[in-house]
Structure 1
Amino acid sequence: MEPVGFRRGLDYLLEQGLEVEVVTTDRSPSIRKIMREEYPEIHHEFDIWHVVKGLMKKLLSASNKKDNRDLQPWIKSICNHLWYACSTCGGDPDDLIRKWKALLHHICGVHRWEEDGQEIKCVHADLTSEEQRRKRWLRRDSYAFKALTAIALDKGLMKDLRQMALFKHTGKLEVFHASMLKYTEKRLHFHYSTMKARTQLAVMDHNENVQREQAYTNTGQARFNVVYPKQTKEWVAKKIYVPTTQTFRQNLVVQVVRRRLDPNIKIKDPQSYVSTPPIPENIAQKPKPAKEEAIQKHTSRYSS
């Protein structure tokens, strides 16, 4: 369903005359092939959020091994470094890869090194002798460093980094999907017309609240909430935003009442109904047998 929906959505935008320069998706193999073969003129980028999520899973899995425990304190910093490399490369894939590889020097406590005859150094400020001493640097001959090197220099990841230089991510789309769950709960079934109407409500709700700003206290201090995610097992601070507004609902009710009072509009106009194809009762490929026959087959040892 994903490739079919992707083609239909993108083709619809192109048919409407919209100029699409960049499409950002996750690293789905089927979508990669479609973009490469059917839309070569559109640049395909990978969502940094999905890539970092996959990277974190690999790092957590590797760090759970006894010999790689020293890698655990660095996982969050490694993921943050990938975000930093993508956001500061200026759209240059070579600069992105160079900054990403610098991780393997910094994590060993080496902040100046030579590469291709040139001296390169970390962009952070110089560490004091006390900071350098207290950091839990990895040793190059340790199993943890070798495991990190295998993950960081993976051929697949290095290839994908070239499609991440524009620093595209689908965070706002994920927020919209979360707001859709209020109107289109996955555990419930909706007919086509109902699903369409609920999706439209979710769009209006999202558009009204998508630009919410961070909340502040009466003294002007930014508000945060400290949470403990199960995956990272580290306390993190998350922004608290101003409450959502629902003024679109009142405006919608006003428009519905005006339409209802308009004598030129027929309420039961057949054109207002959406025809949907018949939906089968189940996915069975053969007709349902009689209950007695099914019971006899279930209780008999000789039924085929």
Structure 2
Amino acid sequence: MTLFVGTPDPLLSLQLFTTGKQQNELLHQLSQKEKVVLGGDVRADSPGHSAKFGSYTTMDLDTNTIVDMQLIQSNEVGGSYHMEKEGLKRSLALLDARGVTVDCIVTDRHPQIQKFLRENNVTHYYDVWHIAKACLHESRQTRDKKKWLSAETPAFCRLEKVMANKRILKDVAKLSPHHQTSSLEAFHSVILRFAPKNVVFPFLGMLYR
């Protein structure tokens, strides 16, 4: 987390100093590990693509420990769509500077993230839920063959079209085999209690929360 010098709030200064000290200790511990598996995700301050702030969080998925948070303002990067990539970029730069070896990172399927990690030769996996959420119906089992999909029916053709989609097939091959980002998303849901999306905060207010 970036520390801001000269912030007018003494309590915030103390909190940032304490957080920075804890983060330094954690980064030192991670630098001693041979490989680190990260999870990454952004939390916007409002729904949709008109967010002013985005906080990008990286988590050590072996211990479910928050490694870093970067608060991005949309006008820094030319729009809210670019905040996620910038947040990840800053976090990885910090980890690299502190000697942390990232084995792989698990995120959603954001196109800019895919391209950035591919160009930087970072092994990238997708969280399983971001593909599985297309099948949110309850699991059903039956021995009645009449209830199975029949070939060439409209329902079967629609299912075949989805499952044979080239992008889906390519993305399934990159699903994370072990680690997921559910703990990270749970952490973001906790932040909602302190920074709800229907309330507007200034930059320092968001940073504090």
Report the TM range for the smaller structure's normalisation. Answer: 0.5 to 0.7
Q: Could you tell me how far apart the structure 1 residues matched to 2:190 and 2:181 are?
A: 15
* Alpha-carbon shift at residue 135 of structure 1 (Å): 6.1
Of 77, 83, 100, 2:139 maps to 77
Q: Could you tell me how far apart the structure 2 residues matched to 1:180 and 1:195 are?
A: 10
Q: Could you tell me how far apart the structure 1 residues matched to 2:203 and 2:159 are?
A: 48
Report the residue type matching 2:106 in the other structure: T
Map of 1:14-53 to 2, 5 A cutoff?
A: 14-37=96-119, 39-40=120-121, 42-53=122-133
* Alpha-carbon shift at residue 148 of structure 1 (Å): 0.6
Q: Could you tell me how far apart the structure 2 residues matched to 1:10 and 1:76 are?
A: 38
State the TM-score, normalized to the length of structure 2.
0.54
Q: Percent same amino acid at aligned positions?
A: 32
Q: Could you tell me how far apart the structure 2 residues matched to 1:146 and 1:134 are?
A: 18
Q: 1:162 to 1:134 in 2, by over 3 A?
A: closer
Report the residue type matching 1:190 in the other structure: F
Match of 2:88 in 1: 6
Are 1:46 and 1:168, in contact at CA under 8 Å, matched by a contact in 2?
no
Secondary structure, aligned partner of 2:180: coil
Match of 1:147 in 2: 158
* Alpha-carbon shift at residue 36 of structure 1 (Å): 0.8
Secondary structure, aligned partner of 1:45: strand
* Alpha-carbon shift at residue 18 of structure 1 (Å): 1.6
Q: Does 1:176 align with 2:187?
A: yes
Q: Does 1:196 align with 2:207?
A: yes
Q: Could you tell me how far apart the structure 1 residues matched to 2:123 and 2:86 are?
A: 20
Q: Which runs of 5+ in 1 are unaligned?
A: 58-74, 79-126, 199-304
Are 1:48 and 1:167, in contact at CA under 8 Å, matched by a contact in 2?
no
Q: Which has the higher contact order (CA 8 A, sep 6+)?
A: 2
Are 2:125 and 2:174, in contact at CA under 8 Å, matched by a contact in 1?
yes
Decide which structure has greater helix share. Answer: 1
Runs of 4+ in structure 1 displaced over 6 angstroms? none
Decide which structure has greater strand share. Answer: 2
Map of 1:243-262 to 2, 5 A cutoff?
A: none
Q: Does 1:160 align with 2:137?
A: no
Q: How many pairs does the alignment contain?
A: 127
Q: Could you tell me how far apart the structure 1 residues matched to 2:178 and 2:145 are?
A: 33
Q: Could you tell me how far apart the structure 2 residues matched to 1:165 and 1:31 are?
A: 15
Secondary structure, aligned partner of 1:21: strand
Q: 1:3 to 1:165 in 2, by over 3 A?
A: closer
Q: Which runs of 5+ in 2 are unaligned?
A: 1-82
Match of 2:197 in 1: 186
Secondary structure, aligned partner of 2:109: coil
For residues 42-101 of structure 1, the C-alpha deviation after alignment (integer angstroms, 9 at most, x for no partner) is 210011111122x248xxxxxxxxxxxxxxxxx4439xxxxxxxxxxxxxxxxxxxxxxx
Secondary structure, aligned partner of 1:132: coil
Secondary structure, aligned partner of 1:77: coil
Q: Could you tell me how far apart the structure 2 residues matched to 1:21 and 1:160 are?
A: 19
* Alpha-carbon shift at residue 7 of structure 1 (Å): 0.4
Map of 1:219-234 to 2, 5 A cutoff?
A: none
Q: 1:18 to 1:144 in 2, by over 3 A?
A: same
Which is worse superposed, 166-175 or 176-185?
166-175
Q: Could you tell me how far apart the structure 1 residues matched to 2:169 and 2:132 are?
A: 13
Structure having the higher Rg: 1
Map of 1:200-215 to 2, 5 A cutoff?
A: none
State the TM-score, normalized to the length of structure 1.
0.38
